Amino acid sequence: MDDFLPSGSMPGEPLTPDPELGVALREALAMPHDGAFVTRLRALVRQRPERTWDEVLAGWFWQGVLAMSLVAMAAAAGSMVTGQPATLPLGEESLAVQLLDSDQPGSEVILNAMAGPR
Amino acid sequence: MNDVDDTLLAARAAGGDPEAFGALIDRHASMARRVAYTVLENQEDADDAAQEGFLSAWQAIGRYDAKRAFRPWLMQIVVNAARDLRRRRRVRTTEPLEFVAAASTHNPAREAGVLDLGDRLRAALATLPERQRLAVVLFDAEGYPQAEIATMLGIPEGTVKSDVFHGRRALRKVLESVKEEWDG
């Protein structure tokens, strides 16, 4: 019974389109009022914001992951080159903490210079 | 905007231009409605699904990969929207008469034949499993390549071929019988 099929569409052969059936199907499935559908939908699109804030954030997710990976790799590479860990060793305070520590000599002078005249 | 290609319009839409997305709606609305109808077999549901598909595509346009063709990306969203809707709703099986009437042509004698063929083809489509219906409509009516249909439906290319073959066999019988009636 398969022999009557046009378009050489036997199971072992490459699939080729059946233009006659295609046209008949398009006509059979054609829906009325395309214009009204398009007009209504275009109006909805104009009303609706293209992306909400969470979708914008979601769009930056992979870039964020990539950036974090690059920062981590750069920190690791930096510590390998200098032989120093990328973070301060335990017990060593940062410069800002040292400056704010009033017991350190000269810290007041540096802080005043940074703050400028009042 | 007729001479601007889909990818460029999609890029403009991704930049927040609703008119560019509107041009894409203009171009692909008919196809989206036909494809949604193929899944749902009901005009109202098909319109709801096509609309939902377009709005989802508008929301997701920022994630559209311009290296891929736009049309299959959009149709995949429409097919998914139609399948979701079918799961959510009990699909009505009645066929609105105005739907059939709108597919008419100007020649009354011919019109009777066209209506008959349309009815019979839709009835034959309704007897096929959904995947076969989609495969044959996407391949023969909408002109998608086998590989793109496989991607859209998430099935191997060989399965698409088999579905088109079997779906086409049922539809071809209808087409041949109507042609015989016209000739006789």
Least confident of A66-70, B124-128, B130-134, B164-168: A66-70
- Which residues of chain A have a CB within 8 Å of the CB of B176? 4
Q: Does A43 touch chain B (CB under 8 A)?
A: no
Q: Which long-range contacts (CB under 8 A, 24 or more apart) does B101-109 make?
A: B102/A30, B102/A31, B102/A32, B102/A33, B103/A27, B103/A28, B103/A30, B103/A32
Chain B: closest CA distance from residue A28 (Å): 4
CB spacing of B140 vs A25 below 8 angstroms: yes
Q: List Cβ neighbours of B82 (8 Å cut-off, separation of 6 or more).
A: B35, B36, B39, B40, B45, B46, B49, B50, B53
Whether pLDDT at B177 is above 80: yes
Distances (CA, A) of B161 to A64, B60, B72, B154: 42, 30, 18, 13
> What stretch(es) of chain B map to CATH 1.10.10.10?
115-178
Query: Given this model, what pLDDT does residue B101 score?
Result: 46
- CATH number (1.10.10.10, 1.10.3210.10, 1.10.3720.10, 1.20.140.10) of B115-178 reads 1.10.10.10
- Computed over every residue of chain B, the mean pLDDT equals 86
CB contact A5 to B (< 8 Å): yes
Name the least confident of B6-10, B45-49, B117-121, B177-181: B177-181
pTM: 0.68
d(CA B33, CA B46): 6
Among A39-48, A75-84, B15-24, B169-178, the range scoring the smallest mean pLDDT is A75-84
pLDDT for the residue numbered A104:
59
The yes-or-no verdict on residue B165 having pLDDT over 80 is yes
What pLDDT, on the 0 to 100 scale, is given for residue B30? Answer: 96
Query: pLDDT at residue A88 above 70?
Result: no
Give me the pLDDT at residue B178, please.
Answer: 83
Interface contact flag, A27 B103, Cβ < 8 Å: yes
- The amino acid present at B112, given as its one-letter code, is A
Taking the CA of residue A62 and the nearest CA in chain B, the distance in Å comes to 11
- Every domain range in chain B assigned CATH 1.10.1740.10: 3-92
State how far residue B19 is from chain A, nearest Cα, in angstroms: 8
CB contact under 8 A, A11 and B58: no
Say yes or no: A30 contacts chain B, CB-CB below 8 A: yes
Least confident of A5-9, A87-91, B30-34: A5-9
So what's the pLDDT on residue B182? Answer: 76
May I ask the CATH architecture of the domain B3-92? Answer: Orthogonal Bundle (1.10)
pLDDT reported for residue A17: 93
Q: DSSP assignment, residue B73?
A: H
Answer whether residue B129 shows pLDDT above 50: yes
HSE of B91 in the Cβ direction (CA atoms, 13 Å)? 22
Question: What does the pLDDT average to over A26-39?
Answer: 93
